[in-house]
Amino acid sequence: MERDLSLNLHVLVARLDRMADRILRAEHNISYSRFLALTLVGELGLSTQRALADGLGVTEPSVSRMTGVLAAEGLLDVQPDPAGGNRRQLSLTDKGKEIVASLRQEFEDKLAALVAHSGVPYAEFAQHTARLLATLDQMEQESTR
């Protein structure tokens, strides 16, 4: 068997990201990158722009611009950090929470349908994906010790 997993994973994730962006823009007028930012703020809870930049794998200035737009749209609350400095704390507004909850379920349903259509058992795919992510987390933690 030829070993193309690294390339295939990259192509799969890139195509899924593009598909998600097309769906979100067409049906909900929001980009996938902004939806991911809202989702990560929701997952991380009260967060900072630095933590969000790390989570998205982008620069802090990029996140600063994005959070400004999301705040202007009433989806994100951006407040100065009580500890001072240039840090900003982020949290979802009620409107942001509603969007994340409804769109996350919609995406999960669409991904489940895609996985089912491929003949791959969803539960197994989800389990293997979670195991891979857990292994990556463990390896990253061990490398920082």
Domain residue spans of the chain = 5-143
Angle at 8 between CA 51 and CA 33, to 5 degrees: 30
Class of domain 5-143: mainly alpha
Q: pLDDT grade, residue 1 (50/70/90)?
A: low
b (16+ CB within 10 A) / e for 93-114: beebeebbeebeeebeeebeee
Q: Do residues 66 and 53 lie in contact, with contact meaning Cβ atoms separated by under 8 Å? A: no
Q: How far apart are CA 44 and CA 41, in angstroms?
A: 5
Q: Do residues 68 and 74 lie in contact, with contact meaning Cβ atoms separated by under 8 Å? A: no
Across the range 53-68, mean pLDDT stands at 92
Q: pLDDT grade, residue 47 (50/70/90)?
A: confident
Q: Note the pTM of the prediction, 2 decimals.
A: 0.82
Q: Percent of the chain having pLDDT more than 70?
A: 99
Q: Which of 35, 37, 36 lies closest to 49, judged by CA?
A: 37
